[in-house]
Amino acid sequence: MFSVQRSEGVFIDTPVLNSPSPVEFISFENQQFYLKRDDLLHPDFSGNKARKFHYFLQNDFPDVKKIVSYGSAQSNAMYSLSVLAKMKGWEFEYIVDHVADYLTENPHGNYKAAIDNGMHLTVGRDTLIPTSGVLLIEEGGRQKEAEYGIQVLAKEIVGWQKEQDIEVLNVFLPSGTGTTALFLQKSFNMKHETSSIRVYTTPCVGDTNYLKKQFSELEKDENQYPSILSLEKKHHFGKLYKENYKIWLKLHQETGVEFDLLYDPLGWRVLLAHPEIFSKPTLYIHQGGVLGNESMLPRYERKYKV
Ligand SMILES: *Cc1c(COP(=O)(O)O)cnc(C)c1O
């Protein structure tokens, strides 16, 4: 790996994350929840990806000149990496297997913002070849360095729990790769012999088996895994569902908070379908990603606007 040290003479504008991120008390569908506002961590570098890339933000990498990563052309990780690269003065190359014509002709959302930050887009294969001076980032930031920032998140939550005198706490967050939920449960377990915090999640990409497989690639010990909840019906990532749009609008109306349109609607639907979880104090983590709404919302409006 790259050595971590202070480099001399290089101006690095390390931003300060708004950390610990605030916790709010909200009421939704006549139920009470705590809401961890990780969407407010930083104006340009917010939420889940700020946590996952915190390690790279926090340390200096004098040998690195460039980030190379891959994934979809509208991903939150892509956008956040473009911000990270810009902050560090690195180049950023991002590999996609295709870009929709519509997006090339009408750049918007994460795609436009990443291009504006200097992202260099390549259409090609998603194999990352180790090269000197290049920092390789797996799709969605699914790698061990993510644990660093997620431990910071865990520490914030444990501190807050103590402050609030909450004995047993449930934490809920929707998963993509499952990296955040896994490392979060693992961090809680490390802090207490028998942790008083249980992490619940739901797969937004793929099904329960896919998510378990993702966990197993980062951690062999199943005792460290978060609990997986789901709905009976199959859910396809990025597809439009009227129920998702409806709950997103309702969340906005009742809580005043804008959630993301890819993960949170399913997250809240799953959580509300499991009242046994929120019979105990429950903290929902808002993981940011609202910039992606710029592409999702017009699609929903075209399809379902009354
Ligand atoms: C990336 C992301 C997730 C998923 O995080 P994983 O660690 O991949 O499970 C959830 N919500 C938002 C807003 C994200 O950007």
Report the pLDDT value the prediction gives residue 13, as an integer from 0 to 100: 46
Write the DSSP symbol of residue 260. Answer: P
pLDDT at 43: 85
- Provide the edge-to-edge strand list for the sheet that holds 227-228: 23-28, 31-37, 282-286, 169-175, 197-203, 227-228
Q: Tell me the three state secondary structure of residue 196.
A: coil
What is the number of the ligand 1 atom nearest to the C-alpha of 140? 8
The candidate with the shortest Cα–Cα distance to 263, out of 200, 203, 187, is 203
| Residue 122 burial (CB count, 10 A) | 11
Which DSSP symbol is given to 40? Answer: G
**Residue 271 Ramachandran class (φ > 0 left, ψ -120 to 50 alpha, else beta):** alpha
The answer to whether 296 and 262 have CB atoms below 8 angstroms apart is: yes
Q: What is the pLDDT of residue 173?
A: 98
- Do 74 and 292 touch, CB atoms closer than 8 A? yes
Q: Is the CB of 46 under 6 A from ligand 1?
A: no
Rounded to two decimals, the pTM is: 0.93
pLDDT at 91 (0 to 100): 98
pLDDT value of residue 2: 39
Q: Consecutive sets of 10 residues in the chain, 306 residues long: mean pLDDT of each?
A: 38 65 98 98 89 94 96 94 96 95 93 97 84 94 94 96 95 97 95 79 96 95 96 91 97 98 98 97 97 93 86
The pLDDT assigned to 126 comes to 66
Query: Is the minimum distance from the CB of 49 to ligand 1 under 6 angstroms?
Result: yes
How many Å lie between the centroid of ligand 1 and the Cα of residue 175?
6
Determine the 3-state secondary structure of 273 from DSSP: coil
Residue 18 CA to residue 166 CA, distance in Å, equals 24
Place of tokens 């619940």: 200
CA of 9 to the centre of ligand 1 (A): 35
Question: For residue 287, which atom of ligand 1 is closest to its CA?
Answer: 13
Residue 10 gets which letter from DSSP?
-
Domains, the chain, with CATH or none: 2-43+144-303 (3.40.50.1100), 50-141 (3.40.50.1100)
Decide if 174 contacts 286 (C-beta within 8 A): no
Phi/psi for 72 (5° steps) reads -85, 160
How many whole angstroms separate alpha carbon 106 and alpha carbon 102?
6
Query: Cβ(66)–Cβ(133) under 8 Å?
Result: yes
Phi/psi for 304 (5° steps) reads: -120, 0
Find the radius of gyration of the CA atoms of the chain. Answer: 19
DSSP state of 225: P
Q: What is the pLDDT of residue 46?
A: 79
Report the alpha-carbon distance of residue 228 to residue 241 in Å, rounded.
21
Closest-lying ligand 1 atom to the alpha carbon of residue 201: 9
